[in-house]
Amino acid sequence: MKLSDSISLWIKQKVENAGAKGVVLGLSGGIDSAVVAALAKKAVGIGNVLCLILPIKSNPQDEVDATLVAKSLGLSINFLNIEPMYNIFPFLDTRQGLASSNLKARLRMCTIYYYANYYNYLVLGTGNKSEISIGYFTKYGDGGCDLLPIGDLTKTRVYKLAKELKIPAKIIKKAPSAGLWEGQTDEGEMGFTYKELDAFIDNKFGVIKVKTKILKIQHMMMKAYHKKNPIPVCPCGIIHMKGMDRFIPELNGRLKFTKTKKFGPGYIQKGGVGYNPVPTGQTPIAAPGDKIRTYGVDRTVYGKRKAKGNA
């Protein structure tokens, strides 16, 4: 069975289990949404897939490319200009940046969920493993969805899958971009290529020639922890009975690092990935069994999530 068949079957089963009638997704004109749209078509059929094009101060070419994808797959599309909704918010003309860019993604997802509720559809996300691993998505924006069909595929594998699904060559060759501002590209914003990121994920570190890029990828993965995991729920009953410092690492597991002549900033190792840089002055959290390095000495965290030695 081809990979596309396996993923499509998975989508179909999830839709049936949820009692939904179909799926809806946003088409951006990029390769990820094109691949997900093609998988959706195979999973539930043309008549049960709704593609939305939702421009907000977007590059007109992205709309043209999104339309090309829909037409090549024979899928119905709804074009809805939600820019007036975006313009309601104050200061957007003078304070462009991450906040306004994320607002675009969240307004789009609000709109997509309206259609999902109206038609009893599930929302398909278009994030891939590479982007999810470093948190390169908007929380409750493009990161808010019901299913992630390609969430376990690196960008490299998405390209291969696109060829299998016969996505238009123009879309495959297009430079990946979130369309956050004019001329923006994913790789330019991240500071490394998808090839390098995928090599890191696959533990092929030799592909990455610049060591600072390895450190940057590690740092982004560490910072994205809150975006990739369920919302923390305070275990009120437990901490009230047993004492807060025993169960909440944020209160009793902070490691303080200082600069050293030999190693520079302190480092903390999580999950055997390697030494993750921690900017001086910040206090990362360690748990029992974590490996840490302070003053050039490898140590293990024991007991109540406290570091031994010079920490």
Catalytic residue set: 32, 131
Contact 190, 176 (CB under 8 A): no
Contact 128, 153 (CB under 8 A): yes
Q: Is the dihedral of CA 235, 239, 242, 246 positive or negative?
A: positive
d(CA 84, CA 46): 31
Cβ count near 224 (within 10 Å):
18
Identify the DSSP state of 78.
Answer: E
Cβ count near 206 (within 10 Å):
7
d(CA 308, CA 290): 12
Count the alpha carbons within 13 Å of 176 in the hemisphere toward its beta carbon.
23
Reference 82, options 61, 52, 102; nearest CA is 52
Reference 120, options 225, 261, 23; nearest CA is 23
Cβ partners under 8 Å of residue 211, min gap 6: none
d(CA 255, CA 29): 45
